[in-house]
Amino acid sequence: MKLFGTMNINDIGNFEIGNCDAVDLANEYGTPLYVMDEELVRNNCKLFNGNFLMEGIDTEVIYASKAFLNVAICKIIKEEGLSLDVVSGGELYTALKANFPPSKIYMHGNNKTEDELIFAIKSGVGRIIVDNRQELELLEILCEELDKNIDVLLRVNPGIEAHTHKYIQTSKNDSKFGESIFSEDIQFIINKFQMSNRVNLKGFHCHIGSQIFEENSFYSSALVMIEFMKEIENKCNFITKELNLGGGFGVRYSEEDDQMDIKRCLNTLLRLIKDGIENMNMSIPKLMIEPGRSIVANAGTTLYKIGGTKQTYGGKQYMFVDGGMTDNPRTALYDAKYEAVVANKMNFEYEEIYTVAGKCCESGDIIIKDIELPKVERNDVLAVLSTGAYNYSMSSNYNRILKPAVVFVKDGESRLAVKRETYEDLIRNDILL
Ligand SMILES: Cc1ncc(COP(=O)(O)O)c(C=O)c1O
Ligand SMILES: N[C@@H](CCCC[NH3+])C(=O)O
């Protein structure tokens, strides 16, 4: 089993993160609890920021905040010098509340509402990523009404079939995201941008999917984009000044996954782009990438208290935890695989096979299928690893279960970043009779 970042086993045989005993964290803050290893988040930011660099190329790393967003993480991302990708009014609002500089915010979405577009324009976001022709038309009207100009990228779809779960592929030809580079409309759309006095097209954005390990998919997408840029330069006389290649870098969740060599991948990507563009006699645009998962996934751990176990007549042994698909829907959605440890029994022998199930009224409420662990008892603490991405951000109140608290740990100190929900929070918007 691979431990990430600052994870360790302490002198009394307990699991620790950021030099904080996980059992103490569970007792102090309650469970379920999302624990974020601040040092690992910062190191991941540095890994991307420090390696997406090449002399003579202007580059920018943008954190895709959908993976995990709250005020605390915005502050860390800002301090580490990354920009921020938001995809809704709510994400934008959170970033602004954290005093994230609006000029470093990229606003995405395949169906931004009028209100969201107005919010983005008025807030002065750095770029809006225009998804399609209708959105361009709407944006022009809104900018005219608000008497504002806006810099944008057009989301295009290079048609790369990335090898990942079909629910998280985003760039197939029938994807709901962006306009296909093969579409007959594409030149017409670019001409429309060129005629606009309000909406200033800086370049293109593409994103081929998430949890991709196949480095060649990233390279192919970049090369297809370069050819597309050349074609557009020839046919529309449009010079691409910015190219955003999206995120999607794969993360190791379990032994089934590889560990991507981010440094090598980024260096190869930049070199390929530089050579490709120079060979075509074009000038190199500013290059951006948008990692989300790879910044936060391994830095997150979810702590649960174990409620008990059950041996079924059919032969399965369940371990019940005090959370479930409400704090981690990824197993139910994508058949995601996780590893876990019993935080208060790190040096115990592994002798049982458990299926870790949550407390929801749903048979699919499973977090881990068949994991080998020490024999557990009620009130032991289970730590599920690599839950930093798309867990907190996709959590729900199904069965009116309260969303867990989030704490950040670093150098033996823990600090609350998001409070645990209360029953009062649950009925806050209910109209009381
Ligand atoms: C446009 C865009 N950018 C960036 C990301 C981040 O992807 P990941 O978390 O896989 O790095 C996503 C999510 O897939 C996305 O849709
Ligand atoms: N939410 C997905 C990934 C979607 C990425 C955003 N486009 C996951 O947990 O893996």
> How confident is the model over 40-65, as pLDDT tens digits?
999 999 999 999 999 999 999 999 99
Average pLDDT, the chain: 96
Which of the following is catalytic: 45, 206, 265, 361? Answer: 361
Question: From the CA of 11, how far away is ligand 1's center (Å)?
Answer: 39
Pick the CATH number of 108-291 from 3.20.20.10, 3.40.50.620, 3.30.70.1520, 3.30.499.10: 3.20.20.10
Which atom of ligand 2 is least distant from the CA of 391?
A: 9
324 pocket-lining for ligand 1 (C-beta < 6 Å): no
- What is the model's pTM? 0.96
Closest listed residue to residue 51, CA positions, set 212, 254, 271, 352: 271
Domain locations along the chain: 8-37+299-427, 108-291
Confidence of residue 160 (pLDDT cuts 50, 70, 90): confident
Fold of 8-37+299-427: Lyase, Ornithine Decarboxylase; Chain A, domain 1 (2.40.37)
CA of 168 to the centre of ligand 2 (A): 6
Question: Which is nearest to 100 in space by CA: 75, 123, 136?
Answer: 75
Tell me if 16 CB under 6 Å of ligand 1: no
Candidates 44, 243, 290, 392: which one to mutate for ligand 1, based on the most atoms within 8 Å of Cβ?
A: 290
**Centre of ligand 2 from the C-alpha of residue 390, in Å:** 6
Q: Whose CA is nearest to atom 13 of ligand 1?
A: 210
Ligand 1 atom closest to the CA of 211, numbered from 1: 10
Q: Is the pLDDT of residue 164 over 90?
A: no
Query: Tens digit of pLDDT for each residue in 241-251?
Result: 999 999 999 99
Q: Is 361 a catalytic residue?
A: yes
Looking at the CA of residue 211, tell me the nearest atom of ligand 2: 10
Q: What is the pLDDT of residues 384-430, one digit of tens each?
A: 999 999 999 999 999 999 999 999 999 999 999 999 999 999 999 99
**Degrees to nearest 5, angle at CA 382 with 376 and 387:** 155
| Pairing outcome for strands 8-9 and 15-17 | antiparallel
Is any atom of ligand 1 closer than 6 Å to the C-beta of 247? yes
Cβ neighbours of residue 88 closer than 8 Å, sequence gap 6 or more: 109, 116
**Sequence ranges of the binding site for pyridoxal 5'-phosphate:** 248, 290-293, 390
Question: Residues 348-368: what's their mean pLDDT?
Answer: 98
What is the Cα–Cα distance from 327 to 427, expressed in whole angstroms? 19
Both tokens of 102, joined, read 């609006």
The whole-number pLDDT of residue 170 equals 61
Find where tokens 């009620």 sit.
378
Distance 378 CA to ligand 1 centre (A): 38
> Residue 370, SS3?
strand
Instruction: Kindly give the distance from the C-alpha atom of residue 249 to the centroid of ligand 1, in angstroms, as a whole number.
Output: 9
pLDDT bin (cut points 50, 70, 90) of residue 254 is very high
**Residues with a CB atom less than 6 Å from ligand 2:** 66, 168, 210-211, 330, 334, 390, 394
Distance CA 300, CA 213 (A): 20
